[in-house]
Structure 1
Amino acid sequence: MSHDVVRRVVAEALGTALLVCAVVGSGIAAQRLSPDDVGLQLLQNSIATGAALVALILAFQPVSASFNPVVTAVEAVLGRLPVSVAAVMVAAQLAGGLLGAVVANVMFELDPVSISTHARGGSGQLVGEVVATLGLVLVVFGALRSPRVDTVAFAVGGWITAAYWFTSSTSFANPAVTVARTLSDTFAGIAPGSAPAFVLMQVVGGALALGVLRLLHPRPATTQET
């Protein structure tokens, strides 16, 4: 494995771990600070997650800042990454996400692993995951074609913060984060039985976004656009 690939893998693992820490940790804090107001809990959780995403993407983007297996898979299909590198990055994202959930639990003096009992599902929420992931992928790769690549961080943070509210699923939109959230029986958790359907819908959303991207941007991105 080349030094460049190692750097990418470390960046993806650490970035995803910190992202999950933000998602789960802010959910726990919100639950404790506003125990009787679910709407306020969601507001606190969404603001913290969106802000963390902006900061993490800005910090890790010079190396690698996908933090999401769907985004990485689309990069590979579009020819921006070798498939072998993408596979290692996805493994790093999954491992980092699990570590992030454990660390978040420990920070708040909970058991390192507490399997979530928060069942999520139904046709509405599954459609919400398709919409959330479709929009996320379009935002990422559309912003990458902007003359200012640093807009990606703000575009992604803004999309996720908004999608927490306008999608019925509260916008998981990330298989690594979804799997990690099964390890925390808190506000941000998802029951293991609910996770596979969410992940499947995220893959569907990513595939639909790929089709839209090829329609909107038929030519490969130039060096300046990446």
Structure 2
Amino acid sequence: MSAPNLWRRLVAEFLGSAFLAAIVIGSGIAAQRLSPGDTGLELLENAAATAVGLFAIILMFGPVSGAHFNPVVSFADATLGGISWRDAAAYLPAQVAGCISGAVVANLMFGLDAVSISVKQRASGPHALSEVIATAGLLLVIFALARTGRAASAPAAVGAYIGAAYWFTSSTSFANPAITVGRMFSNTFAGIAPSSVPVFILAQVGGGIAGVFIIRFLYPALTPAQAAQIVVPHETDNGSGPEHDQHVSSDGR
């Protein structure tokens, strides 16, 4: 892959991850202020904004990088024959830095300190199980659609899945190590205490591994070209424009 094309993709992953964190955290702060003391309504507002925002940013950045915004998605894509391992490794710091930057921006947009470390403890057995299931389910949504010729539906499906997973998981479905790290930097409705982060990330990695095994079991007879058709067209290796094969999107939060 040429260096200019890789840099464009990394910038897209950084910006998309920053928007993702700003959407998740910013809408959480807004919900907390608009509906004080009503946790259910706050969660509904936060989930709705995240679902539609995720749909939009996948469409925004997918043609450049594939709109992963999530290291688990990137490494699953590499495992299943999509992007290279080198590119997946390069995506990771861009995604983490983007989510941290988005958290800082969200804090500033609501007049808070740029960095406020969260004290919200989330680590527990049920939360860890929820993250395993949420992350595995996210991969299944993405790759099942791609591998059955329905990739065009994936941006909406990913947004819908994450919106639903806010409610059917006790952890509210982070399903993304990068956003988990970013949410440490905002002591607000969407935050997570640093001491809870390792449990969440280990569970997300476990969910990613489980998801890859399930995908391989359910869709075993695919060619490498079919395996690479994930969500939205993105730039070719020489940086000349969108290619016909499609690579992975998204996120999770």
TM-score normalised by the chain length of structure 1: 0.97
- Determine the C-alpha separation between the residues in 1 that align with 2:92 and 2:186: 21
> What amino acid is the match of 1:204?
G
What is residue 102 of structure 2 aligned with on the other side?
100
- Determine the C-alpha separation between the residues in 2 that align with 1:16 and 1:76: 19
Structure 1 consecutive aligned stretches of length 4 or more whose deviation exceeds 4 Å: none
- Determine the C-alpha separation between the residues in 1 that align with 2:102 and 2:152: 25
What is residue 59 of structure 2 aligned with on the other side?
58
Query: Which consecutive residues of structure 1, in runs of 5 or more, have no partner in the other structure?
Result: none
Question: Equivalences for 1:117-196 in 2 at 5 Å?
Answer: 117-196=119-198
Once the two structures are superposed, residues 48-82 of structure 1 have per-residue CA deviations (whole angstroms, 9 ceiling, x without a partner) of: 00001000111111112000000001011112111
On the 8 A contact 1:46/1:164 being kept in 2, the answer is: yes
What is residue 45 of structure 1 aligned with on the other side?
46
Once the two structures are superposed, residues 143-196 of structure 1 have per-residue CA deviations (whole angstroms, 9 ceiling, x without a partner) of: 223434221101100100000000010000000000000000000000000011
Once the two structures are superposed, residues 96-145 of structure 1 have per-residue CA deviations (whole angstroms, 9 ceiling, x without a partner) of: 00000000000001000000000002111110000100100110111223
What is residue 3 of structure 1 aligned with on the other side?
4
Over aligned residues, Cα RMSD in angstroms?
A: 1.2
On the 8 A contact 1:58/1:150 being kept in 2, the answer is: no
Q: Give the match's secondary structure for 1:139.
A: helix
Question: Equivalences for 1:199-210 in 2 at 5 Å?
Answer: 199-210=201-212
- Determine the C-alpha separation between the residues in 2 that align with 1:97 and 1:43: 22
Identity of aligned residues (%): 53
- Determine the C-alpha separation between the residues in 1 that align with 2:84 and 2:225: 17
Once the two structures are superposed, residues 10-47 of structure 1 have per-residue CA deviations (whole angstroms, 9 ceiling, x without a partner) of: 11100000000000000000000000100000000000
Q: Give the match's secondary structure for 1:188.
A: coil
Aligned residues: 226
On the 8 A contact 1:13/1:95 being kept in 2, the answer is: yes
Query: Which consecutive residues of structure 2, in runs of 5 or more, have no partner in the other structure?
Result: 230-245, 247-253
TM-score normalised by the chain length of structure 2: 0.87
Q: Give the match's secondary structure for 1:32.
A: helix
